[in-house]
Structure 1
Amino acid sequence: MTENVFDVAPADLVSGDRVAGRLYTDPQIFEQEMTRIFERTWVWVAHESEVPKPGSFKSTYVGRQPVIVTRDRKGAIHTLLNRCRHRGASLCEKPKGQANGFTCPYHAWSYGLDGKLRGIPYPDGYEGVVDKTELSLKKLRTESYGGMVFATFDDGIEPLDEFLGDARLWIDRFMKQGGGYPIKVLGKHQFRFKGNWKIQLENTTDGYHFPIVHRSWMASVDAETADMMSFMTDPEAITHDLGQGHSVMQMVPEHSDLDADDGSEPLQARFDHLVEELSKTLDAAQVRKLIRAMHGTGFNLNLFPNVSMSAAFFRVLRPVAVDETVIEHIAIGPDGPPEVDIVNRERLRIHEHFQGPFGFGTPDDAEGWDRVQRGAQGAPEMPIMVNRGLSREKPSPEGWPTSHVTDETGMRAAYDQWKQMMSDD
């Protein structure tokens, strides 16, 4: 592949507190992002609950390249390029399912769940020509942490644990919203917006926009929920730069670690019906854990470059073109006995109310993203500002650059990583 050539070096497009608008509009920059970022780092592809048993699979993408995430008969998870080794046809068009393997619909070459070539029809024409052991599906390096599955085209990259670094603490905390049970995916929906992928990447740790863009949502919820999300003037509500482009925005600090509960916080009255029903089969401590976690955790964790663990759901971005991005919103809940099904039904209703296609939150966000892309077409060399809170950014006790929840610390973290990766030939 011939690399595109920048007329301006990436290092000159990102400074400490601003980025060139061209980062949203330049097709050459986008093409290099696909190779220098999405094909060289760990990209989130699945939650383990999406491939729960041998033969389970999920179709997805790493950047623009189609892949299949599978669990083989021994329980190992693989990420396979969705491309037959014969003539390049895609092997799987289903978003998820159960299979014994994959057979190409064009010439019926067949592959196992681990990607190994199992069979070729009419093999006599290949005698002395093909060694099946050399024609397995291309396999991406795949590792998991906390149930989150990541894959990379770069076999020489650092281990996933090192890539995640201090974000692992926040992944651990995020998974506590199962209320003592593991987390599972409940459902998902996806949509496209006519804008660059980095516009959405910025949004997850952008507390500044919340009371402006989401006024209609704030007006639609009960007073307790609205009060809980009124973090604009809370000095304890902060954002950390966790390194490697990752960041976390703590909107409701008292819910950052759901295990830290002294019992003094009253449960929201809107969930009284759940308390009554759950109390028939679960003890009071279990019920309290499940109810306190109904809105998820009190933070949004942004993992560079493509997934956020946002309060009570996963948001996944997939770049399609310089001005087009696919977003998946994935609802999650506790993977417990039948009696917690009522919790998951309620969590789905909460998810739909904000994140759903007819919700009060996502459509307003998407309108903002579209407008940024349209506006950025004008004077593309004019900078996008990410300087809010720069003068009050201080290191936390852990050493993380930290500022208020409304500040742009998380965006600066992501663009520092972008600059580093785009400058690496």
Structure 2
Amino acid sequence: MSTTLDSSLRHGAATDLDLGRMVEAERVHRRVFVDSDVFELEMDRIFGRSWIYVGHESQIPNPGDYFTTQVGRQPVVMTRHADGTIHVLENRCPHKGAIVCPERSGHTKRLVCMYHGWSFEADGSLAGVPVRSGYDNTCFDPTNRANGMKRLPRVENYRGFVFASLVADGPDLKTWAGEGMRGFDSVVDRAPEGQIEIVGDCFRTVQNSNWKIFIDNMSDGMHTSFVHYQTARAAKRTLEKFKIEHAGGLQVATLLAGEPDQMAKTDLVAHPNGHFDMAAFAPEPKGTDAEKYKAEMIARHGEAGAQAILGRNFHNAMLFPTALMQPSLQQLRVIRPLAVDKTLLEIWVFRLKGAPDSFTSRAITAANIGNSPSNLVAADDFEAYYRVHAGLKGPESDWVRLSREANRDIPVGSSLKGSSGNSEVCMRNMYQAWSQYMSVQ
């Protein structure tokens, strides 16, 4: 890359020409992470058009239940209608635009706007308008149920996971997700009853860094030997000192992730559209409950079927740009960009229906250790993300390097497998997909 081109990318408002030059085969320009103009375009061209994770159907189990979140910049409410159907609506009153549901979740017979009392059914249809006579001989018909809260153009429920898009055109969810959905399949398949459900509320943290820095790190096995080294060493010494043989595999594995060379043995696979997954490295549960669980799986799927399901497990499975499933930990991380330098992260824990209660306890403990406000693992990562973002704000720092194990990628169908768990193949693939998303005007 010439000095002239480097200089031209450094300053000024982001243009489509600039966007096309910000991602190369083995490096990404710093403006991808720190430029507010780029962020605004991302919210339009990625979060405003792609499939975005909304929530899980278990969060609204009964008619009248609702859950609020955002799709890109748009506040939305996911509802369960009287007929059992799930809808995702713009969380705004069609009268003056006021937020209708300010709470994170709740239950109500009808959705009612506090400003002027307009009410709506759970499918968004208009139920009532006070003083209807005021609209006589006007262009608005208060009796037309279609004049209610607007439904998002596309909503799909994949095995309980609800996704939505703000645009009507584009590939369906399954086509767009492709192999990127296999981590979601894995966690559902591992439930003896074939269903999972959310446990309680989530952990919510705001990271002072760009949203892509977090996703970048989710396929970065190399960092664990450095960022988490001290935490891993302390955990190992504790296990040895107290001679703990079965410490609850999943949560302890989050601490031992820093063991040298461990991650190099982990499979990394990058999929089209920016999705990727990392094979699980946490040990499977052991003991009586684990044996009962395996027996339940065999009873449901047969010996071969159970072996196929249990033989495939993932630590991270990223459905770009918002949903990171962790089947081995029974957790889902949801990414909600707030600003170019602020990212909201939600961590949800799942119960595998039909699995022993100890499996759920283990998942909750893992979340507490790795993701709670007093966690021992993610705090290391958040500091690293902050330092990356802070360093990239300087205009003389132009490029982020992604050359590790480049030209060693192994084609697997339409996907690419890294030559080892230290490869940056998923990052390279993700930013190539980012560039494609951003090129659509």
Q: What TM-score does the superposition give when structure 2 sets the normalisation length?
A: 0.83
Aligned to 2:296, which of 286, 292, 296?
Answer: 286
The match for 1:252 among 255, 258, 281 is 281
**In 1, Cα distance between the equivalents of 2:431 and 2:315?**
20
Tell me which of 266, 277, 290 is aligned to 1:237: 266
Corresponding residue for residue 175 of structure 1: 188
Find the residue that maps to 2:222 and give its secondary structure: helix
Q: 1:162 aligns with which of 175, 181, 202?
A: 175
Contact in 2 for aligned 1:54/1:71 (Cα 8 Å)? yes
Question: Relative to 1, partners in 2 of residues 1:374 and 1:160: Cα closer, same or farther, differing over 3 Å?
Answer: same
Q: CA deviation at 1:288?
A: 10
Are the equivalent residues in 2 in contact too, given 1:22–1:381 (CA < 8 A)?
Answer: no
Percent identity at matched positions?
30
Q: Secondary structure at the match of 1:372?
A: helix
Q: Report if aligned partners of 2:81, 2:122 keep a CA contact under 8 Å in 1.
A: yes
CA-CA distance at 1:53 after TM superposition: 2.2
After superposition, give the CA deviation of every residue in 1:125-171 in whole Å (9 maximum; x if it has no partner): 11232123442212111102122110001111211110111223332
Q: 2:149 aligned with 1:137, yes or no?
A: yes
C-alpha separation in 2, matches of 1:12 and 1:422 = 11
**Cα deviation code 1:158-193 (max 9, x no counterpart):** 111101112233321232343455211113110101
Match of 2:216 among 184, 202, 205: 202
Query: What is the match of residue 326 of structure 1?
Result: 344
Superposed displacement of residue 301, structure 1: 0.4
Distance 1:346 1:418 in 2: 35
Change (3 A) 1:399 1:37: closer
Aligned with 1:330: secondary structure?
A: strand
Change in CA separation of 1:9 and 1:177 when aligned onto 2, cut-off 3 Å: same
Give the aligned CA root-mean-square deviation in angstroms: 2.8
Structure 1: 5+ residue runs without aligned partners?
Answer: 256-266
1:51 aligns with 2:51: no
Q: Structure 1 length normalisation: TM-score?
A: 0.85
Distance 1:370 1:246 in 2: 24
1:30–1:284 CA distance, 2 compared to 1 (3 A): closer
Distance 1:205 1:364, change over 3 A: same
User: Which residue of the partner structure matches residue 205 of structure 2?
Assistant: 191
Counterpart residue identity of residue 277, structure 2 = V
Figure out how many residues of one structure are paired with residues of the other and give that number: 397
Tell me the residue number matched to 1:263: none
Q: Which residue pairs with 2:302 in the alignment? A: none
Contact 1:245–1:413 (CA under 8 A) maintained in structure 2: yes
Residues 233 and 215 from structure 1, CA distance in 2 versus in 1: closer, same or farther, beyond 3 angstroms?
Answer: closer
Question: Alpha-carbon deviation of 1:372?
Answer: 1.0
Q: How does 1:221-370 map to 2 (within 5 A)?
A: 222=239, 225=249, 229=257, 230=259, 232=261, 236-252=265-281, 268=286, 272=287, 275=288, 285-286=295-296, 297-310=313-326, 311-312=328-329, 313-336=331-354, 340-370=356-386
After superposition, the Cα gap between the structure-2 partners of 1:216 and 1:135, relative to the gap in structure 1 and judged at 3 Å, is: farther
The counterpart of 1:212, out of the listed 195, 217, 226, is 226
Q: Which amino acid aligns with 1:102?
A: L
CA-CA distance at 1:305 after TM superposition: 0.7
Over residues 9-54 of structure 1, what are the superposed CA-to-partner deviations in whole Å (9 max), with x where a residue is unaligned?
Answer: 2110111111111111111111111111101110001112112222
Q: Could you tell me how far apart the structure 1 residues matched to 2:130 and 2:86 are?
A: 28
2:404 aligns to what?
A: 388
State whether residues 277 and 318 of structure 2, in contact with CA within 8 Å, keep that contact through their aligned partners in structure 1: yes
Paired residues of 2:64 and 2:80 also in contact (CA < 8 A): yes
Letter matched to residue 343 of structure 2: T
Residue matched to 1:19: 28
C-alpha separation in 2, matches of 1:73 and 1:101:
10
Contact 2:193–2:353 (CA under 8 A) maintained in structure 1: no
User: CA, structure 1 residues 400+19, in 2 after alignment: closer, same or farther (shift >3 Å)?
Assistant: same
Instruction: Report SS of the residue matched to 2:24.
Output: coil
Structure 1 residues 374-383 or 17-26, which shifts more? Answer: 374-383
Q: Does 1:72 align with 2:81?
A: yes
Letter in 2 for 1:163: W
